[in-house]
Structure formats: structure tokens, C-alpha cells
Structure 1
Amino acid sequence: MTSMTWTGVFPAATTQFNADLSIDMPATQGVLDALVRDGVHGLVVMGTCGENNSLEPDEKRQVLAAAVEAVAGRVPIIVGVSEFTTPRAVAFAKDAEKIGATALMVLPAMVYVPTENELAHHFRLIAQACSLPIMLYNNPPAYRVNIGLSTLAALQDVPNIVAVKESAPDPRRFTDIANAFGDRFITMAGLDDVALEGLILGAAGWISGLTSAFPQESVALVAAVDRGDLETARRIYRWFMPLLHLDAEHDLVQSIKLAEQIMGRGSERVRLPRLPLEGARRAEVTKMVETCAATRPALSNAKAA
């Protein structure tokens, strides 16, 4: 757990597919390698943007192994644990540790909405199955489950549950967690269009969707916050905000992958039940990305030391 540094920008990386929607492992590795070379501080693989729940169990393990190979220890790899049942999540957590993940991002069990006791029990059993540091993923709008303060209180005694990815659209959560638990739980900003608010309020880092399309600006934004240059941070954030809003929409995966494609960083192909954006929505997102690309802020004074 001491080898994991929860600071900086961690893009929620995409999984790339061939035309027949089989996994394009070389392209997936290429996306990860390009993000590392652009200066991100870690990677989240097979989260929402990685289409975790559209992958078969063996595919998940293959993608993680390919990520470990491509990254080659340059930055931490956090892998999503998103399963329908607790036993499946436990099995994947064990395998992820063997394959070489640095940490886990653990979601509530999919579909079923648990009681608070069931939610805490799910997280506890996964944590007991491995020695990896664990970040709980709180995203009530997407998963209909809120990891409340009482649930976190029930998990304080689990040593490897160390962080919370906070994707509730209410930045007060960062302060409430800090007030309730001090430094017991690291918080990570997890919703792109409240990322700056989260960082200012104490989030250690940013797990970002749109970083996959604009990594250099994302790195520069966090670097500006770290050195107290809020003027630069606000300038980048205001430029970025039209795209960051996409992270809060139901079609965020399609939008982010389309943005990657426009920026020459990946393909917009997604697995069913998702379909690529089309019609007016595709034109709208395309225009937003192209506008951002044409007005990219100068970063000469915003880069990390």
C-alpha cells in the first residue's frame, strides 16, 4: 500500500475495439502508453469508460495483463472491480493482484441496490481477499447507490480501504468526509465538471474521463492547483468545461471515445448495448471537441515542475 501515490491526474482509460468489436489489445495498449507519455500520474483501467461490464471475465484479465505490460511500472494502475455478485468481485480482486494491478477501484455490486449493511459487507469481503489498496467508487447518479458517511464509518477498521472516488455532483462531500474522518480516507475528484472544486476542497487527485482526449491540459490544471496558481487553473477549467460536462451525461463513454477519435487518440467504437453517437448528438459533441481543439490554452506557464 505504501507504493501507491494518490496524487495527480488518473485518466479513466478506454478499452479499444476492432471493427468486429473484439478487443484491440495493441490499440488499448497504445492509448495507455500515449497517456503515460503525456504526463499523467496513473491510470484507471476498466472503469466506466473502460466498459468494464461489457467485457467477459477472461477479457478483463487479458486487458489488465496487457495494461501491466504496456505501462511497465511507469505509473500506478488502478483497475475497476465491477461485478454482479460479491463472489465474482472477490475472484477478480484476487486475480488482479496476481496479474499486477497497483490498486483496485471497487464498485457496489451491479443492478441490485443493497442495504447499507450489504454494501459494507460487499466492500469488506473484497478487501479481505487481497492486500491491494482499495478506492471505493461513489457515483449515486450512475449506480443508484450512495456510499454514505455511515458506510465509511463501518469500514474504518479495514486497513486497505484507503480512498474514495467521489463522483456525486455535490462538492460538499469532500468537506463532509474530511470533517468526519480527518485523513483516514483519501478523496479523489471523480466527476469532471466539479473536479476543480474537489481539488480545492482537498481531493488528492483527479480521476478524469476527458483527460483521455486532452491529457496535457488536465495535467497542467492539476499542476496549477498544486502550486497555488488558481488563475491558471481557472483559465484551463473554463476552457475545458463544455467538454467536462459530458462526463455527467448518460452517453459519457460514447462522447469521450468520440473525442479521443477526433483528437487522434483512439476509436469511437463501443460495445453493445452502447452504440456510437449519431445524428444531432454526434454533431453537437464533435463541434464541442473541435472548438476546444481550436482554442487550446497556452500551457507554457502551467506545466508541472
Structure 2
Amino acid sequence: MKPNWTGVYPAVTTKFFEDETLDFATFTHNIDEQIKAGVHGIIVCGSLGENSTLTYTEKLELLTAARDVINERVPLIICIAENSTKMAVSFAKEAAEAGADGFMLLPPMRYPADDREILHYMHTVADATELPVMVYNNPLAYKNFVSIPMFKDLAQNAHFESMKESTGDIRYMTDIINELGGRFKILSGVDDLALESLLMGADGWVAGLVDAFPRETVVIYELAKQGRLAEAREIYRWFFPLLHLDVSNKFVQNIKLAEVATGLGTEYVRQPRLPLIGEERERVLKVINDALAKRPVLPQI
């Protein structure tokens, strides 16, 4: 199913057992609940999916499991985050054969490349298959920045259809639209800037806390697109302390704790990550429990 890059696209967590093996049953249950809540696509093996700790084979296994449970109800996107161009090209080809509908593509990992190197990498990987690509622009976490002149270059390649905007600067979105018009669909990649991004013209939301609160996330998106801003703002303000949990070095552990609280996951992570403990854990649990105690009744959309 071809993605239209519009709406809510959960970046789902990868579920593990305590021994760090893959928990496919919980993984697919969460995806099914996301779709029932009305999301518009699913992204697997992203940053929140602990991509860097997964083997090549595990990523393809997760893709297959997600494909089977989705059963063409929504588009299935897989993240490509590799260290070498050769590996990224190989993975793209295998993922396409395994049933991916599109890619979320990060610039080269670990190496702080220059603009020429980034563009060469992105074009080479995108041209490896016929699938559409969303550029994941997150310079704060990954150091490689895709600038507007670089997006103008990528715009010449039809494989690039959208961007995940994770610079953290809401002003940048307006600059992008002014310079590039509607050439790329723009999806907000920062949970606690999502409503602001939608109001400034974003087409969608690559979301994190949606993994624990799928319906609330979808309702905020739909209300914003319908122009019901007072209702969207009220739910967003309730959601905001939770959304801050996505903007943290331990966002995976935070969101997995929230999934436990809503019955949509487990808190097991893969090392070097470790589960939260002590005061840090109690602080995150308080945010989650305070929100659950005031969980709003959602309006009809």
C-alpha cells in the first residue's frame, strides 16, 4: 500500500522478553491496537524501535511480523539507519522484497558527513528500489543536518516524497514551505511540537507516545485538521507532560513504561539501555500516573 505521508504514523517500539529476545506477540498486538485507533501508517525499526541494537536479520523479521498483522490496512514503513552505503542499499532491497511500502531514511550513521557525502548516500539508497522515501532530519541526535539547499537537491529525485522534521525549531518548517512549497509532505517528528507543527502546515505526525496513547494522538491530529483548535488544544495540554517524555535521552525507556501502564507493551529494553530505576523511574511513573488519573473523554471526530 503506497503511503500518502499524511496523518499519524507511530514509530513503534520493538518488544523484547527479559532475555532480550524478540517478543513478536506483544509487538504485533501493539501494532493492531494502533490501527484500530485510527493511525494512518506504521513505522518499524526507527530510533524508538532501538534500530541500532537490532541485527540485520531481526529487522527483516520484525518487518515480516508487522506486514502480516497489518494485512494491508495501512502502509508499512521501515527505517534505514546504517553505517555504510553498501549495507543500506542491500537492506533496502531486501526490505522491499519482504513487503515494506516505503522507507524512513536517516543520513549515514556515526560518521559526521559533509553535504556532498550525505546527498550521495541518500540518492544511492533511494535509487536502490522503487519505493518512496521519507527523509529523517534529526541533526540534534545524529549530527548530520539536511539543509534546505540539500532538500532542493533531493527534490530532483522522485523517490523522495516526504520528510520527518525533527530539528526542534518550529520556524524551520515555515522556511521549508516558503522555499519548497508542497514538494515534500512534512511530518512532525517531535512529540511536544506536534500540534504547533500541524498548525503551521505539517501534513502528519511521526509520533512516539502514540505507542501508549494511540486514540488520543489520532484525535488531536483529526481535530487540528478539522479546525477544531480549542478542542485539540485542550487534549494536547493534558498530553503535554507525557509528550515531554519523548524528548529525552531515555525516551525509549520512558515510552515503554507508558506502554506498560496502558497495557500495550513491556518495559524490557536491549542493552546498553537498561530499565529505569530509583528516583528517575518514580519521576516518569508520576508523569504517567498523573496523566492517567485525568485522562480526558475524547470528542467525536
TM tier, shorter chain? over 0.9
Describe how 1:1-305 pairs up with structure 2 within 5 A: 3-299=2-298, 301=299, 303-304=300-301
Q: Distance in 1 between matches of 2:249 and 2:141?
A: 8
- Which aligned segments of 4 or more residues in structure 1 are displaced greater than 6 angstroms? none
For residues 214-245 of structure 1, what are the alpha-carbon distances to aligned partners after superposition, in whole Å with 9 as ceiling and x for unaligned?
Answer: 11110110010111000011101110111111
Q: Distance in 2 between matches of 1:291 and 1:10?
A: 26
For residues 248-297 of structure 1, what are the alpha-carbon distances to aligned partners after superposition, in whole Å with 9 as ceiling and x for unaligned?
Answer: 11110110011101111100100011111111111011110111111111
Whether the 8 Å contact between 2:3 and 2:41 is mirrored in structure 1 is no
Deviation, structure 1 residue 38: 1.7
Whether the 8 Å contact between 2:6 and 2:185 is mirrored in structure 1 is no
For residues 106-160 of structure 1, what are the alpha-carbon distances to aligned partners after superposition, in whole Å with 9 as ceiling and x for unaligned?
Answer: 0011111100110111100011101111000011111111111111112121101
TM-score (normalised: structure 1): 0.97
Structure 1 unpaired stretches of 5+? none
Structure 2 unpaired stretches of 5+? none
Deviation, structure 1 residue 74: 0.6
The secondary structure found in structure 2 opposite 1:29 is helix
Q: Distance in 2 between matches of 1:63 and 1:208?
A: 19
Deviation, structure 1 residue 10: 1.0
Alignment RMSD (CA, Å): 1.0
Q: Distance in 2 between matches of 1:9 and 1:213?
A: 14
The secondary structure found in structure 1 opposite 2:109 is coil
Deviation, structure 1 residue 172: 1.1
The secondary structure found in structure 2 opposite 1:178 is helix
The secondary structure found in structure 2 opposite 1:234 is helix
Deviation, structure 1 residue 173: 1.6
The secondary structure found in structure 1 opposite 2:79 is strand
Whether the 8 Å contact between 2:26 and 2:264 is mirrored in structure 1 is no
TM-score (normalised: structure 2): 0.98
